[in-house]
Every structure is written in structure tokens, then in C-alpha cells.
Structure 1
Amino acid sequence: METLLLNQRDVDENARMSEVIRAVSDAFAAYERGDAQMPAKSYIDLPQYNGDFRSMPAYLDAGEWDAAGVKWVNVHTDNNDKFDLPTVLGTVIYSDPTNAFPLAIMDGTTLTRKRTGAAAAVATDHLAVPDASSLGIVGAGVQSYTQLEAIAEVRPIEDVVVSDIDEEKVARFIDRFDDEFDVRAGSIAEAASCDVLSTVTPVEDPIVTREMLGEHTHVNAMGADAEGKHELADEVLLDATLVIDDYAQTTHSGEINVPWSAGALGDEDIYAALGEIVTGDVEGRTDATGISVFDSTGLAIQDIATAHVVYEHAKENDNGYPFDLVDTTVQ
């Protein structure tokens, strides 16, 4: 048996967004049903390098398929300036759960971007108004691209407002999507007034206030993934139909972690976990007005569900580099 090595191009070509969205939705459902195992994300903090490592293992049984694996990922905020590397680098080991054979080692950086966009799309599909046609994005970094790509799969997006203090990033974003959407630069307030808003920044002081949001805006809060990060004002969280991806992770390191730690927000303010809505145990949006927020920290089950899609298509398309990682002659 051989292990398949899949680089950035292989992952990008085989992570078809519509299928990734469906797989991530299945992963949320499996987790809610108890058909998934996902130990807590573990951290190795490296303040001397202004970064950290994170280990994210998971197993899930989606019914028609099951999968297991682990993502080894980092956040090093100086990478771009000092080393000309992405802030986030990831590697996924994808294994056969029946015998633990490592089926693939693949680029986890591109995979992370894809599944993050897909998670926002799953939440948007259940929480945004059905005819949502405008999307605001705050933060024009690498994660912003898959926010638009994925959300446009579930809503008829036509108008896009992107906001970032880095004008070059905004220009690159507009250049990428100008042929497909009516996309323009705007202020945070202009982005926040759209039907759907995705925030993908690392800020620790809130930048989106309640007054900025439209009467039915759905917000995907994607940026907070560590203690202290906080993109939305407390008033937004308290006034919204608040949906989380995972209780332990969101209270520790999600968008709600700061007001939660301060006692300004509690269990009674959380409407549901996204898995409860995906399975139909709890209703999604039911009113034409009112704001909603999805607090996304990123779950290992999303990574492994996406890795499943990538691996299956890579095999079909004869992509990647097969090599002998395991000596199968040793018993």
C-alpha cells in the first residue's frame, strides 16, 4: 500500500466547494448525533516566535463514509513579513480508520481555507434570509476569498463590499472577483450593512458595532481563534440569534470568549450549536428581520471531512505523488 502526497495544487483542484460544503454539513450532523470523536484542540505556545502550534485530531462517521486524521497547524503572525510565508501553515495526515494506514499527507493550509469558507456557507444557508444578495467582508486576507466562493454557493450573491486597512489586499481581492460579482471597496460600516457579513480579522478590540448592521444581517464571525480575539461588539452578540460551532472551543477561544470570561454573556445567550440546526433539532432563521451570528472557531471534523473529499477525487484523477511511507513487510 502507498501513501498519497498531495500538494497545494492537488488540494485546491480536488476540494470542490459544493462538495466540501456538503461534507462539512455532514460533519456537523455527525458530531451532533454523537457519531464523531474530536478531542480538544491542543496548543503549544511559542511567544518567543510570536506564534503557536495546534494539534487537531478527529474521527467521524457520516453514514456513507467514515474518516480519521489529524491536522498540525500553526499561527505565526510574523511569517509574512519575516519569512515570506503564510501566517497559517497546516499539514493533514488522513488515515484509514479500519486499519490506521496513512492514506494521504496533504497540504492543510489550502484545506483550512476551503473548510473555513464551507463552514460559513453551512451557517449562512441556515441563518441568512433566503434572498440574501449582498455580502460584506471585513478583512481581505487569504481567508476572505473562500468566504465569497463558498457563500455564493448557497445564496444568490451579486454585490460584494470588502473592507481592509491594507489597500493592496483590497485591490487584489477586487481583481480576483471583479468578473463574477459587483465587488467594491468600502468601509466596515458599509460591509456590515449587507445581507451577510463575514469578519476574518485577528483583532482584539471589536470593530463591528450593532448600529452598523442591517435589520436582518447574518454575521459569520470567523476571525477569533484564540483567547482575547474579539471582532464584534458585545451588543451585537447579545442582540443576535447566536449560534456556535462547539461550546468548549467558542467559550475558550471563539468570538464570545472575551464577554464570556467577563461574565457579560452566558449560556442563556446562546441559541444553539450549528449541528443542532443542521440535524433539524433546532430551527434556523424563522423571521425576515433580526440579526444572527455564527461563532466559528474551526473544528477538526471539518478538516477531516474536507480531506475525505480531496482524497477521493485525487484518487479518481490520478493526482499527487504516491510513495512508500509504511514498510508493510514488518508485522
Structure 2
Amino acid sequence: MKTLLLKKDEVSRLISVTEVIAAVEEAYKAFSSDQVEQPDYMGIDLPSPRGEIDFKLGYYKANEMISMKASSGGFIDNPTAHGVPNGMATIFLFDARSGSLICVMDGSLILGLRTGASGAVSVKALARKNATTVASIGTGNQARMQIRSINEIMKIEEIHAWDSNPDTLFKYKTDIESELGIPVMMANSKREAVEQADILVTTTRGKGSLVEADWVRPGTHIVAIGTDQQGKQELDPEIFRNAKLVVDSIAQCTEKGETWHPLNKNIITKDDIHGEIGEILLGRKPGRESDDEITIFDSTGMAIQDNTTASRIYHNAIAYNVGTFFRFFEQ
């Protein structure tokens, strides 16, 4: 049996942002069409200055692929102490018909791309059609991924950005303006950024409420990316009281997502969740219904997103003869 090995630079050549957006849309639709088996993901928190490692497993019946992703993050000492990034990911693809391991690929780029694409898919489904201004709370790598993806499906006229680290904020401004030509306004406060937003993107590792309810304008679409484990939080739970809430997975978001906080405070109940984004993409539930609605997309990330994205990369690699085959054992 031969297994294809794909390095990070090879993965980067094998898929475009638009393909990833399509793969994530496919994933959400599949999840809401009973085409996916996806056990609860597991996470291990390690003592500081180490971070966390998550394991996500998914089976997609339509492509007969099983994916498993191991991803780490928050290992702040890694670059100096170990000579590796502070976050890494690896994806394994198995042929569901035989159980054989057909591909091992670097997953760090996929993790960023498919998470960025999830925000873009939600913008497509839930943001106002005349939205032009994005506010970014957090200006790290995922904030960049969000902007690259959203910029594929709408014209962003300006970005208002805030970060707790002024140097990170300035580098974000320089990078985005150079790469995409979108003006970036460096906000003096979180409130200043949020109050300008048609679309608000939060991509921090926040442990408390970063965005207050009275800062959010009517008609804002919120892409809540940073909360994927209990203990993390970015939004004031009061924002949910009068908002249309859409999630990637009800099961995950009510236990580990931003949605957990207003549920825990009895501000909303599970019945107040409008639905999963796959239901909206399939036309089973409406998306935005007025320009004054505040909409929230709570994204915890799902294994099926890795599956559909990695599967496209694998097939592209085979088609273009990219990567190295390794024989683990002889039949």
C-alpha cells in the first residue's frame, strides 16, 4: 500500500481560496444532509507555557473519505525553545472502503484556510448585501485568512482593526494594504473599531467579553471565530438577546462555542438558535431577513471541513503528480 505525503509548500500549491470556500460550503451542506459521521472532538490542555492539542475525526459518505486532524496551538515558547511554530497541524486521509491510509499532509495551512473560508461562507449567507466595512478584533494569522476569504466574495472598502499588541496591529495594516490594497484604519479602542463595522470578525484567544452589546450597530454581521473550547469568550452574551444566531454545529456550539455563554446565563435557550449554516445554504431556513438584523455566526470548526478541503487537495495532487509516495508495508 502506498501513502501520499504532502509537505506544506506542496499543499499551498494545490488549492486556491475560492476552492476552499467551495469545499467548506460543501461540508456545511453535507453535515445538514446526514452525509457525515463526526464524533465529538477531543482536546488536551497542557500546562503553560504549552498550549492545547485538538483531534477531529470525520467520515463523509459521498466521497468515502475519513479524515483525522491533529492540531496544536498556543505553544508560545516553540520558536525559541524547539525551533518549530507555536501552532501546527497534520491531516490523515483514509479510504473508507478499505480503511487504508492514503495521504498524510501538513494541515497548518488547511486549518487557516478552511477557518477563513467559514467566515466568508457566513458573510455570503448572512451579511447585508451592501456591506463594505469590516472590523477585525484580533490581527493575527487567522484575521488575515478571514479578510482574504471575505474579500473573494465581496468588495471590502475598508477595515477597522484593533489588537492588544500595537506592533502586531501595525504589521497587519502593512501586510493587508500591501497584499490586498484595502485601507486599514488602526483603531484606538475595540469600541472604535466595532462601531464602524458592517461585518465584525473576532479572532482572538479571548478569555472574557471583548465586544460589548451596545457597541454593535443594527445590521451588523458577526463572525465569531475565536471560541472553540469552554473557557474562551469574545462576545458580551447580551449581544445574543436580540440577534439571529446561526452556528456550524448546534452540538458543538452549545457546549464549546460562543453560544455556550448566553445559554449559561439564561439569556437565550436552545430554541433561540436559528439553525445551522448548512440548513441556510440548503434553503431549508432563511438567512438574513432585514437590513436591521444583527446576525451572529458561531464557528467552532468541524472535521468535515478538513475532510472536504483535504480531499480536494489529495485529488489535485494525484492529478498534477505532486508529492511523495511512501510504502508503509508490503501487501
When normalised by structure 1's length, the TM-score is 0.92
Say whether the 8 Å CA contact 1:206–1:231 is kept in structure 2: yes
Cα deviations by residue, 1:25-74 (Å, 9 ceiling, x for unpaired):
11111111101110110223333664332211101145xx4432100122
- Aligned-partner residue type, residue 12 of structure 1: S
Q: 1:93 to 1:272 in 2, by over 3 A?
A: same
Structure 2 partner of 1:94: 93
Aligned to 1:315: 318
- Checking the alignment, whether the CA contact within 8 Å between 2:254 and 2:260 is kept in structure 1 is yes
Q: Secondary structure at the match of 2:208?
A: coil
Measure, in 1, the Cα distance between the counterparts of 2:64 and 2:215.
43
> Which residue number in structure 2 is paired with residue 183 of structure 1?
184
1:256 aligns with 2:259: yes
Structure 2: runs of 5 or more not aligned:
none
Match of residue 282 from structure 2: 279
Report the equivalent of 2:138.
139
Alpha-carbon spacing, 1:48–1:130, altered in 2? closer, same or farther (3 Å) = closer
SS class of match (2:296) = strand
Cα separation, 1, equivalents of 2:48 and 2:234: 25
- Give the partner amino acid of 1:111: I
Match of 2:201 in 1: 198
Taking the aligned partners of 1:79 and 1:291, their CA distance within structure 2 comes to: 39
The Cα of 1:255 is off from its aligned counterpart by 0.7
2-structure distance, mates of 1:119, 1:134: 18
Give the Cα–Cα distance (whole angstroms) in 2 for the partners of residues 175 and 309 of structure 1.
Answer: 32
> What's the offset of the Cα at 1:195?
1.1
Q: Summarize the alignment of residues 1-331 of structure 1 with structure 2, pairs less than 5 Å apart.
A: 1-47=1-47, 50-62=50-62, 65-79=63-77, 83=81, 85-179=84-178, 180-186=181-187, 187-192=189-194, 193-325=196-328, 327-329=329-331
Superposition CA RMSD, Å: 1.9
| Structure 2: distance between partners of 1:252 and 1:264 | 15
CA shift at 1:77, angstroms? Answer: 4.3
Q: Aligned equivalents of 2:191 and 2:324: distance in 1?
A: 47
TM-score w.r.t. length of structure 2: 0.92
| Segment of structure 1 superposing worse, 300-309 or 66-75 | 66-75
Contact 2:24 2:114 (C-alpha < 8 Å) held by counterparts: yes
User: What are the superposed Cα offsets for residues 306-328 of structure 1, whole Å, 9 maximum, x if unpaired?
Assistant: 10122122223332222223x24
The alignment partner of 1:33 has SS state of coil
Range with greater deviation from structure 2 (98-107 or 82-91): 82-91
The CA deviation string for residues 209-233 of structure 1, in whole angstroms up to 9 with x for no partner, is 1222222110000000111211111
Secondary structure of the structure 2 residue equivalent to 1:225: coil
In structure 2, how many angstroms separate the alpha carbons of the residues matched to 1:264 and 1:291?
16
Assess if the C-alpha contact under 8 Å between 2:50 and 2:77 holds in 1.
no
Give the distance between the partners of 2:78 and 2:170, measured in 1 at CA.
18
